Amino acid sequence: MASRNIKIYGDPILRLTAAKVEKFGENWLPLINDMFDTCESDEGAGLAAPQIGESIQLAVIMLRRENEEPFKMEVFNPEILESAGEESFEEGCLSIPGIRENVVRPTKIRLKYQDHKGQMHEVWADGLLARVLQHEIDHLHGVLFVDHLPTVKKLILKSKLKSLEAGEIPDEA
């Protein structure tokens, strides 16, 4: 198990639609564990496979609460079937260091996904879990949280995003 390097804004893989996973089994466990290790070492709440250079429909979620073991979830081929509510909440992204902005998203989602064994699951998620799932699912479709921002906000962030594209990582990242 090892932490992987995160692809940064401007890397073309972050704009691709990831390939659907067709074959399942234990062979996915090393990648899943690497993704959880990366999530933990970079203090992320979730990570999509394209963020580490793997253009497949896989994301992991790792939510931490004080004095508790983290909640972990793996999702292959996730699909949001239904959503409800709406809330603005500050988001950041391991692939867009140094930038945090409020993003409006549904507060509750019904999600269909598979685990590494190919078993199909369907769940309702709300709160932070719903937000993180939506953020990571966006990554699987080449969408970044900054794409959800109003045009004026995107214009304000344009120079910071250009710096990231040029390989300049902010100090506070």
pLDDT of residue 117: 98
Tokens describing residue 16 = 């691709």
Who contacts 147 (Cβ-Cβ below 8 Å, separation ≥6)? 138
Question: Any idea which fold 12-165 has?
Answer: Peptide Deformylase (3.90.45)
pLDDT of residue 170: 72
Q: What is the tens place of the pLDDT at every residue in 105-133?
A: 999 999 999 999 999 999 999 999 999 99
**DSSP symbols for 54-108:** --BSEEEEEE--TTSPPEEEEEEEEEEEEEE--EEEEE--TTSTT--EEEEE-SE
pLDDT (mean) for 160-165: 92
How far apart are the C-alpha atoms of 138 and 144, rounded to whole Å?
A: 6
User: pTM of the prediction?
Assistant: 0.94
pLDDT of residue 1: 59
pLDDT of residue 167: 86
Q: What is the tens place of the pLDDT at every residue in 51-85?
A: 999 999 999 999 988 888 889 999 999 999 999 99
pLDDT (mean) for 89-93: 97
How far apart are the C-alpha atoms of 85 and 94, rounded to whole Å?
A: 26
Report residue 173's pLDDT band, with 50, 70 and 90 as the boundaries: very low
Q: What are phi and psi of 99, to 5 degrees?
A: -125, 125
CA distance readout (Å), 71 to 12, 44, 46:
31, 13, 11
pLDDT (mean) for 83-110: 97
For residues 97 and 161, the answer to whether their CB atoms sit within 8 Å is no
pLDDT of residue 171: 63
Q: Which of 68, 74, 136, 165 is catalytic?
A: 136
For residues 83 and 44, the answer to whether their CB atoms sit within 8 Å is no
Catalytic annotation on 66?
no
pLDDT of residue 27: 97
Report residue 172's pLDDT band, with 50, 70 and 90 as the boundaries: low
Nearest C-alpha neighbor of 24 from the set 115, 111, 104: 115
